[in-house]
Amino acid sequence: MSTVPQRCASLGPPHICARLGAIDLEAIYRTHSRRLYLLALRMTGDVAAAEDVLQEAFVQAWMHRDTFRSASTLTTWVHRIAVRCALRYLRDVSRHDRRFARIDGTDAFTVAVRSVVPETDIDLERAIAKLPPRARLAFLLHQVEAYSLQEVAVQMGTALGTVKAQLHRARRLLMEDLTR
């Protein structure tokens, strides 16, 4: 008789599932994928990139499942992995000198946001998507995802003062865009 949870049996060999204990990646995916996809979509501004980031986040969660510590919640752990994957994507895009295209009237973005969060205010989502990349990241991580300013600085790999300036810039640009 096995002590491996039944739901875990489909996730891999029994010795791996036994190490996982109660961690069921499929259940985690079903529970958190919608929110993590929306986070990735907001951070990247691109539907295909958001899907790639989401996939990479869950691959990383699976590959590094043995690093999960019960000191934090599973939700926090998977969320941080997704943020790191999105930031890695953005750094790669920047490193290869491909700049973000502004999302001015793109229907793909609107459709993607509405499919994940139908009740969202599309004007606000579009205004956030129009922000410069670093200002958008600072705003999303601090205001939407509730990271502290210090955590945002660490995630973005920048100084605390820079994060504050980017956050101020984002708020100012959002106010200008939404009052037009």
Domains and CATH numbers, the chain: 22-120 (1.10.1740.10), 131-180 (1.10.10.10)
How big is the CA angle at 44 (ends 77 and 42), to the nearest 5 degrees? 75
pLDDT tens digits along 36-80: 999 899 888 888 999 999 999 999 988 888 888 777 788 888 888
Integer Cα distance of 127 and 169 in angstroms = 13
Smallest CA-to-CA distance from 89 within 44, 133, 130, 47 is with 44
Taking the CA atoms of residue 127, residue 130, residue 157 and residue 71 in that order, the dihedral angle to the nearest 10 degrees is 40
Give 150-177 as a DSSP string: HHHHHHHTS-HHHHHHHHHHHHHHHHHH
Q: What is the mean pLDDT of residues 99-117?
A: 53
The tens digit of pLDDT for each residue in 30-39 reads 888 999 999 8
Which string of DSSP letters, residue by residue, matches 107-118? HHHHHHHHHH-T
d(CA 110, CA 8): 36
